[in-house]
Structure 1
Amino acid sequence: MSDIDGEKLVEAMRRSADELSSPRGIRDLDVTLEQIVTSAVETIPGVDDGSISMTEGGRVDTRHPTNDAIRRLDETQNEFNEGPCLAALETPPDNGVVVAQDLADADADADAGRWPRFAPIAVEAGYRGLLSTQLRVAAGPLAALNLYAHDADVFDEHARTLAGLFGAQAALLLYGAENARHLRRAVDSRDVIGQAKGIVMERFTLDDDGVFQLLVQSSQETNMKLIEVARWLVGEVTARRSPETTGTAAATRE
């Protein structure tokens, strides 16, 4: 790579890092995914549209496609069980990048030959090039960034290198956003359990250990998770204290 290309690469990565690492993007997984797609399409040469494929519950879902045509093409790959996006998710090369330079090339050893059912549909939709790079770090969610091009042979060495580095950077942010989501759930659960403990402590005059044991016992006897017991208890108290409920109770007493 030339010095000029290197400078452009650093500039592009720095610009993408600024966009992707905004506080809201790190906190919100969905916002982060949308930023990844937008930044990649704007940054990587030759790219016209994009999306993210993400495995959830054993299935592959398309997230934040730049238009409906891209959503349909991603879904077509899932339907046929073939295509660069699935290849990047399942068995990508060492650099994590799968490239289709010309899906219109009908040669058996070319891209159309690798994905014979998907390729003609992509070309008919107006896309001859497709690059997909895996977004994954250890213990993180499995995803792939899909970059579509109207023209063939646009993914040169510079574009492929940039896509690979961008994918590694985006994977870390995706992992961070996913961890932030789990952390929020853990904090929310702790808060709800704390509220439930306060309610039980007030009603039964128990200390902290006694309250927790009571909640655990209730969880075991009802075959409900501890957090579910806590949410039910907090919900019941909240409903009783709501203005509507209070007004109804007052009217009944009258």
Structure 2
Amino acid sequence: MPPEEPTLDPGADDAADRFAQLAVELHDTSGVEDTVQAVVQFALHALNCSHAGVALVVHGRPEIPTVTDPVVAEIYQLQTDSGDGPLVESMRDRSTLLIRDTATEARWPDWAAKVLAVGIGSVLDVPLTTSAGTVGVLGLYSTAPDAFGRDDEAIAHILARHASVAVASARQEATLAQAIDARMSVGQAMGILMERFDLGSDRAFAILRRYSQDTNTKLREVAQQLIDTRKLPH
């Protein structure tokens, strides 16, 4: 059974209003990067952190689309290079991990020492999850040790739920847009072949597919090259 999430103190300062505003901002964002940036900026204003970042799962590995400081990128890179650390574990196990004091952290001593050396005293990693799996991890960092209390954890969990849905939706929209663009490119390339060589649509598509297979090039890339150069790949 997963651990119980911390609950937000009902007296926390206008938390509901802030999340309502965030929901509007996330709805208005136009892509994954803008969505992540909105989440990071909200974290900086609503939580007791000096730095924040989001690492997304791409082909089973972390990818860092946006951070508030190069320090965060360095902290993430330390873990992606070694394949170990709270970010990696949070992403793999869908678990929330709190490092109260990097000076005394014993689970990842090498990582903690390097993080302490760049001025980070405490860390809170919260997974971004949907029913389909892990989307990424929200990483919160403070220069002070033991900076994150129960209210911070509760707000971070609520923020992570908003972010999970928003990022998943932005990714889905981006994938759909790419599919539409690819279909349009292939259709345009087929039209060029049909006009130039007096071919039917089935034959034109077969030619594009053959060139794609023979050159080990994606079909949409073959189509785009034909559109741009009016020539098929060698």
TM class, shorter-length: 0.7 to 0.9
- Equivalent position to 2:154, from 147, 161, 179: 161
Cα distance change on mapping 1:188 and 1:98 into 2, 3 Å: same
Shift of 1:223: 5.5
Q: Is the contact made by 1:98 and 1:133 (CA closer than 8 Å) also made in structure 2? A: yes
Q: Which residue of 1 aligns with 2:100?
A: 101
How does the TM-score come out when normalised to structure 2?
0.82
The correspondence of residues 1-254 of structure 1 with structure 2, limited to 5 A, is: 1-5=8-12, 8-22=14-28, 25=29, 27-44=30-47, 46-57=48-59, 59-93=61-95, 97-104=96-103, 106=104, 112-139=105-132, 142-219=135-212, 224-237=217-230
Q: Residue 122 of structure 2 contacts residue 141 of structure 2 at CA under 8 Å; is this kept in 1?
A: yes
Structure 1 residue 181: Cα displacement: 1.5
Please report the RMSD computed on the Cα atoms of aligned residues, expressed in angstroms: 2.6
Give the helix-richer structure, 1 or 2: 1
Q: Structure 1, unaligned stretches of length 5 or more?
A: 107-111, 239-254
SS of the aligned residue for 2:146 comes to coil
Partners in 1 of 2:31 and 2:18 — Cα distance?
23
Q: SS of the residue aligned with 2:67?
A: coil
Q: What is the TM-score with the length of structure 1 in the denominator?
A: 0.76
Contact 1:141 1:175 in 2 (8 A): no
- In percent, how many aligned pairs have the same letter? 26
Q: 1:27-61 CA distances to partner (integer Å, 9 max, x unpaired)?
A: 322222222211211122x1111112234355434
Distance across 1 between alignment mates of 2:211 and 2:220: 11
Opposite residue 13 of structure 1, the aligned amino acid is F
SS in 2 for 1:102: coil
Separation of aligned partners in 2, 1:80 and 1:226: 36
Q: Deviations over 1:81-131 (max 9, x none)?
A: 4432222112233xxx21112223x3xxxxx11221222332332222111
Instruction: List runs of 5+ in structure 2 lacking aligned partners.
Output: 1-7
- Taking the aligned partners of 2:200 and 2:40, their CA distance within structure 1 comes to 52
**Conserved in 2, the CA contact under 8 Å of 1:132 and 1:145?**
yes
Give the paired residue count.
224
Q: Deviation above 6 Å: which 4+ runs of structure 1?
A: none
Distance 1:160 1:197, change over 3 A: same
10 and 54 in structure 1: CA distance in 2 versus 1, 3 angstrom threshold: same
Largest Rg, 1 or 2? 1
